[in-house]
């Protein structure tokens, strides 16, 4: 009987390389692939492609580089720019997983006769009576389930996350055992297509946006208390760059690019009891007629907080928190869990009740 065929997505890092080793040990017939996404990137650049190719040579599996630069520009980079222009703070990694990587790679796999896709994400899968469940990664410090909230539930049976039950030190130890050239390679950080981490410079250089459009700075009542140097220079919760003239520290509460206003206030005003979501995705059927106790992550590195989920029409939802949450930021993802199980989530549109 022929071995089952699987595609393994290789970023050029240690996690995906070890995922390939584990899939091979489980008897899969593998094809390694890397997506070329951006000319100058912190992920899948030319050095990463060389490293991935060497891993495949060591494992004696075929390797392909897939050109997805145009799709990445349209579905991730241009959306990133548009979100900032709309006064939101985008999360391109989750967007990339939602709109590009998994769907595209599974489609490529079908062309090659592979129905399974393996990646180096720190997340786990479990077959249950209600279908395939997606769980947090075993290593809490590396868990990446947050970025996978928008995957289609129907894709989960076709996915494998071989390192999800491991800790990072175990992954590196296994890479050393197999003498992989990426065993000590550092993890990529921040936004892959903003190599120096300066998103403002990227917005100016790539999109030609004018960051210096002076406008009004207002307090929570709408009274003008000063001026700012451009909405694109601020995000919700920011304290630096707001100028002096106040006896108490001020923080960005909200951005209004239409009026070119930055609303500021006290730290106490940063705390909000609710988050309103749009474009929600749920990985299992949830009863819209009742409330759902959940824990919620409002950012990748934030602590899960208890709340109550209320499903609304047209892919919307509300989360009511047990305690007010600091700097709930439009454009970020609110990701919901029941214990270890990822339920799904949505994109934050506001922390204030919509009109």
Interval 198-208: pLDDT, tens: 899 999 999 99
**pLDDT (mean) for 131-158:** 96
Alpha-carbon distance values, 105 to 65, 255, 310 (Å):
11, 37, 33
From 106, 141, 143, 152, select the one nearest 123 (Cα to Cα): 143
Of 93, 192, 280, 336, which one is the catalytic site residue?
A: 192
Residues 344, 283 contacting (CB under 8 angstroms): yes
Place of tokens 């999360």: 91
Distance CA 175, CA 188 (A): 17
Question: Residue 165 above 90 pLDDT?
Answer: yes
What's residue 245's pLDDT? Answer: 60
Is the pLDDT confidence value at 43 over 70?
A: no
What's the pLDDT at 289? Answer: 95
| Confidence at residue 184, expressed as pLDDT on a 0 to 100 scale | 87
User: Residues 331, 308: contact at Cβ < 8 Å?
Assistant: no
Buried b (16+ CB within 10 A) or exposed e, 225-244: ebebbbbbbbbbebeeebee
Token match 């040990």: residue?
25
Other Cβ atoms within 10 Å of 287 Cβ, number:
8
Statement: residue 132 has pLDDT above 60? yes
What phi, psi does 309 have (nearest 5°)? -95, 130
Residue 192 is a catalytic residue: yes
pLDDT at 355 over 60: no
Q: Which residues on neighbouring strands pair with residue 334, listed in sequence order? A: 346
Out of 209-213, 278-282, 287-291, 333-337, least confident range: 209-213
SS3 state of residue 200: helix
Dist CA 329 CA 146 (whole Å): 16
Checking if the pLDDT of 350 tops 70, the result is: yes
Of 342, 345, 348, nearest to 327 by C-alpha is 348
43 catalytic? Reply is no
Annotated catalytic residue: which of 43, 44, 56, 96?
Answer: 96
Helices (H), the chain: 14-25, 46-59, 69-72, 78-85, 92-96, 102-111, 168-177, 199-207, 267-270
Mean pLDDT of 296-323: 96
Q: How far apart are CA 24 and CA 18, in angstroms?
A: 10
Taking 90 as the threshold, does the pLDDT of residue 259 lie above it? yes
Sign of CA dihedral 263, 267, 269, 274: positive
Taking the C-alpha atoms of residue 107 and residue 66, their distance in angstroms, rounded to an integer, is 12
Could you give the CA distance from residue 263 to residue 235 in angstroms, rounded to a whole number? 11
The confidence band for 192, taking pLDDT boundaries of 50, 70 and 90, is confident
Which of 97-106, 141-150, 158-167 shows the lowest per-residue confidence on average (mean pLDDT)? 97-106
Give mean pLDDT, residues 163-179.
97
Greater model confidence, 244 or 55: 55
Return the closest-CA partner of residue 80 out of 67, 97, 98, 93.
93
Least confident of 59-63, 132-136, 205-209, 303-307: 205-209
**DSSP at 167:** -
Give the DSSP letter string of 43-85: SS-HHHHHHHHHHHHHHT--EEEEE-HHHHIIIIIHHHHHHHH
């Amino acid at each position: 009987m022929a071995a089952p065929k699987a595609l393994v997505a290789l970023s050029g890092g240690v996690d995906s390389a070890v995922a390939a080793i584990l899939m091979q040990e489980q008897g899969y017939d593998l094809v390694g692939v890397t997506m070329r996404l951006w000319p100058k990137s912190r992920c899948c650049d030319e050095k990463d492609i060389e490293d991935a190719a060497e891993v495949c040579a060591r494992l004696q599996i075929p390797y392909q580089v897939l050109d997805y630069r145009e799709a990445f520009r349209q579905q991730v980079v241009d959306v990133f720019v548009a979100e900032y222009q709309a006064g939101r703070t985008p999360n391109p990694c989750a967007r990339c997983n939602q709109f590009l990587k998994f769907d595209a790679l599974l489609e490529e796999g079908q062309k090659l006769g592979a129905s399974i896709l393996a990646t180096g994400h720190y997340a786990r899968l479990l077959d249950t009576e209600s279908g395939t469940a997606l769980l947090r990664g075993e290593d809490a410090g590396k868990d990446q389930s947050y970025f996978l909230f928008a995957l289609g539930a129907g894709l989960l049976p076709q996915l494998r996350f071989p390192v999800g039950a491991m800790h990072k030190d175990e992954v590196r130890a296994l890479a050393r055992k197999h003498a992989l050239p990426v065993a000590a390679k550092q993890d990529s950080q921040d936004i892959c297509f903003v190599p120096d981490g300066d998103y403002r410079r990227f917005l100016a250089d790539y999109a030609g946006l004018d960051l210096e459009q002076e406008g009004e700075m207002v307090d929570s009542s709408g009274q003008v208390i000063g001026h700012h140097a451009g909405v694109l220079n601020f995000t919700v919760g920011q304290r630096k760059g707001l100028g002096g003239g106040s006896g108490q520290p001020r923080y960005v509460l909200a951005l209004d690019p239409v009026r070119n206003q930055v609303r500021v206030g006290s730290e106490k005003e940063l705390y909000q009891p609710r988050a309103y979501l749009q474009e929600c995705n749920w990985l299992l059927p949830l009863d819209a007629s009742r409330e759902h106790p959940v824990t919620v992550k409002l950012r990748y590195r934030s602590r899960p907080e208890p709340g109550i989920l209320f499903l609304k029409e047209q892919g919307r939802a509300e989360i009511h928190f047990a305690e007010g949450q600091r700097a709930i930021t439009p454009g970020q993802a609110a990701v919901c869990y029941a214990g270890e199980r990822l339920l799904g989530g949505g994109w934050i549109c506001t922390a204030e009740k919509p009109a």
